[in-house]
Structure 1
């Protein structure tokens, strides 16, 4: 826990050092333009992700589906927007990672939902359908095999 506190205290100094280095490399004017541009972009991402998430949540709930995947994707998008609003090079790089994760998780069905892997419960265990590829693993024993009924 003390490491996390020290890391949170160090982030503003790391961001400041990154902006100073960026300012020396490309100039003060372009660095200020970079900071203002990412702030505006962050606000736009938050606004768009918020509306998209609300619309997708409404559609998902009207189909009595699980809102988890919509929330997961929307969370990454909103977090990316918040990170873009915070001035700094490190947070901008983290925002890019969050945007990629939001795009990757967009629209993936959960197990048990239409289009997703099938899921069922047997003997108190939840089984999620998956793919098996032959490899180094031994073939499953017949007495441990679960058949769908």
Structure 2
């Protein structure tokens, strides 16, 4: 419940504050153009990296390997692209972090741990 509060109340409030600050510092039209630019660039980068991840998954499957690492990369790219397309500077920073490979590698162990915890909780519910 506390995460929903954070997601729906605190994050938008921070984004609005950052919009107001950026509008005051660089002006309204540059702020709007920056928001549009990050959305478009996010979509383009996510599409390119998504295609690369798709080819890695295909290659891993052809060689009989489990594509776990590639699927985790794909999940990061998808979430990163989505965050970049959502208007906001905080979401843009988080999205960019998920699209930059050497930074994404820092997030992947956390995501793997989170997914593993979710699967363990699901098993408890099923039993």
Q: Same fold (TM over 0.5)?
A: yes
Q: Deviations over 1:13-71 (max 9, x none)?
A: 22122111111111111101100101101111221122112111111100001100111
Identify, as 1 or 2, the structure richer in helix. Answer: 2
Q: TM-score, normalised by structure 2?
A: 0.73
The within-5 A match list for 1:56-75 is 56-75=56-75
**Higher RCO (Cα < 8 Å, 6 or more apart):** 2
The within-5 A match list for 1:1-149 is 1=1, 3-10=2-9, 11-100=11-100, 105=105
Identify, as 1 or 2, the structure richer in strand. Answer: 1
Q: TM-score, normalised by structure 1?
A: 0.63
| Number of aligned residues | 104
Q: Deviations over 1:60-100 (max 9, x none)?
A: 10000110011112221221111100111111111122123
Distance 1:101 1:20, change over 3 A: same
Greater Cα radius of gyration, structure 1 or 2: 1
Compute the RMSD of aligned alpha carbons. 1.7
Unaligned runs of 5+ in 1: 106-149
Q: Name 1:117's counterpart in structure 2.
A: none
